[in-house]
A and B are shown apart, each in its own frame.
Chain A
Amino acid sequence: MIIKYIFIIIFVSLFFYGIIRPFTSIFAKLFLIIGSILGLLSLLGSKYVNEIALFVGVENATLLYLYFGLVTIFLFIIITINRFDEVNNNIAKLTRKISLLESELNENK
C-alpha cells in the first residue's frame, strides 16, 4: 500500500513538473504529462487504462504501455542524436575558429 502511495506522489509530481517545466520540445512535455496521467490511472483504476486502450484501438492496457514506452524510447534516441549532432557542429565551429585565430596570432608575431 505504501508503495502505491509513493508511486501516486511520484506521478502527481511528474504531472505538475511536466506542466511547469519549460521544455525545448513540446513532444517531451506531452510525453511527460501523458505518461504521468497513464501512470496515475493505472494505479487508481486499471479499468480506465483498459478503456483508453480499447478507445485508441489497442488490445489492452499492457500493450498500450508497451507501445507508449517504445515510442518514448525511439523519440528519446532521435532527440538525443540530434542534440549530439548540434553539439558536434558547435565543437567543429569552435575548433576551426581557434585554428584560424592561432594562425593569425602566429602571423602577427
Chain B
Amino acid sequence: MKFDNIYIIVPAFNEAKVIRIILIALLRRFRNIVVINDGSTDNIMEVTKDLDITLLNHEINLGVGAAVQTGFDYVERIPLSYAAITFDADGQHSVEDAISIAEAIQSCEEEIIFGSRFIEHDKNIPFIKRNVLRFVTFLTKIATGVKLTDAHNGLKAYKVSVIRKLKLQFSGYSYESELITEVAKKKISYKELSTNVKYTDYSLKKGQKLTNGLLIIEDLLKLWK
C-alpha cells in the first residue's frame, strides 16, 4: 500500500552512512519522501541521488527545527497533500511505526499524532536518557498544559490543515516544545500513538546530547513569558 497523499519529511545532517538504507526501506511503503539536507558536509547528495525522493538543501546547518519547517513549507504547497510525517534519519524509528502513524492520521479526527516511546517501549531507552526525557516532558506539561508522555520524539504526523496553522520559529531541537506550545495556544486536537525506538551506537552518538536538555529548558522559559 502506498500513501499517495502523505509525505515523509526526513531532516538529515551528516547521515550519509545510514540514510540510504533507511530511505530504501521507506520507499517500499511510501511514495513521497522529502529529505532536507541541513547543510551536511558528508556525501549525502551522492548516496541519495539515484533514489526517487525530493531533496531540499540548506546551504548551511540550521538545526532540525528549521529542516522540519522547510519540509512543512514544501508539503504545504502541494495541492493534494493530506499529511506529513516527520521521521529521523539516524535509523532510530521503524518503517512499521511510520505505517501505523500514517494509517492513523488518515482515519482519525485529531490533527496531530505524537509518537510516544513511553507508552510501551520505554525500556528500550537508555536509563539516563529516559529520565532526562521524562523530566523535559514534565516541564513541558507544566509550561504548556499539554499532557503528553513523550514531548521529544521525532516521529509525528501532522495534517496539512494544521501545518498551515502552525507558526514555528525555533531552529533547533526545541521546536518540539514550541510545537506543543502552539498546540496549547491554538487548541489543536492531538493524540499519542505508541512507537518503538531502536538505539544503535550510531544513533546514540549522532542523536540529541543530554546536555541539550538545558537548551530546551531555556527555550521553554522563552516560550513561557
Residues of A participating in the B interface, judged by any CB pair closer than 8 Å? 88-89, 91-92, 95-96, 98-100, 102-103
14 intermolecular pairs with C-beta atoms under 8 Å apart: A88-B171, A91-B62, A92-B66, A96-B58, A96-B62, A96-B66, A96-B70, A98-B59, A99-B56, A99-B57, A99-B58, A99-B59, A100-B73, A103-B55
A-chain residues with CB within 8 Å of residue B171 when the two chains form the complex:
88-89, 92
Contact call B73/A96, Cβ cutoff below 8 A: yes
**B70 engages A100 (CB within 8 Å):** yes
User: Chain B, interface size: which category?
Assistant: 10 to 19
Closest Cβ of chain B to A89, distance in Å, is: 7
Known A89-B169, A92-B66, A92-B171; judge A99-B36 contact (CB<8 A): yes
Shortest Cβ distance from residue B180 to the other chain A in the assembled complex, whole angstroms: 20
Could you tell me which residues of chain B, from 32 to 79, have a CB within 8 Å of some CB in chain A? 36, 54-60, 62-63, 66, 69-70, 73-74, 77
Are A103 and B74 closer than 8 Å at their CB atoms?
yes
Q: Which residues of B contact A96 (CB under 8 A)?
A: 58, 62, 66, 69-70, 73
* A95, B74: Cβ atoms closer than 8 Å: no
* Contact present for A91 and B60 (CB under 8 Å): yes
Q: Interface on chain B toward A: helix, strand, loop, or mixed SS?
A: mixed
Q: Chain B nearest CB: distance from A86 CB in Å?
A: 11
Partner of B70, one of A89, A91, A99: A99
Q: How many Å lie between the Cα of A100 and that of B59 in the bound state?
A: 12
**Beyond A95-B62, A96-B70: 6 further Cβ-contacts under 8 Å?**
A89-B169, A95-B66, A96-B58, A99-B36, A99-B57, A103-B54
Pick the contact of B58 from A88, A89, A95 — CB < 8 Å? A95
Complex Cα gap A3–B74 (Å): 63
Query: Min CB distance, B73 to chain A, in Å?
Result: 6
Assembled-state Cα–Cα distance A15/B45 (Å): 57
User: When the two chains form their complex, are residues A102 and B57 in contact, meaning their CB atoms are under 8 A apart?
Assistant: yes
Among residues of B, the one whose C-beta sits closest to the C-beta of A104 is B77
Which of A88, A96, A102, A103 has most chain B Cβ within 10 Å? A96
A102 to B66, CA, bound (A): 17
* B36 surroundings in chain A (CB, below 8 A): 99
Chain A residues in 8 Å Cβ range of B73: 96, 100
B65-104 vs A: 1/0 string, CB under 8 Å?
Answer: 0100110011001000000000000000000000000000
* Residues on A with beta carbons closer than 8 Å to the beta carbon of B58: 95-96, 99
- Nearest first, the 4 A-B pairs at minimum CB distance are A99-B56, A96-B70, A92-B62, A92-B66
Smallest beta-carbon distance A102→chain B, Å: 6
Chain B residues contacting A91 (CB-CB under 8 Å) are 60, 62
Q: Roughly how many angstroms separate A92 CA and B60 CA in the complex, as a whole number?
A: 9
Q: Which of A88, A89, A92, A103 contacts B56 (CB 8 A)?
A: A103
The minimal Cβ–Cβ distance linking B78 to chain A, given in whole angstroms, is 11
Nearest Cβ distance between residue B59 and chain A, in whole angstroms?
A: 6
A91 to B62, CA, bound (A): 9
Contacts of A99 in B (CB 8 A): 36, 56-59, 70
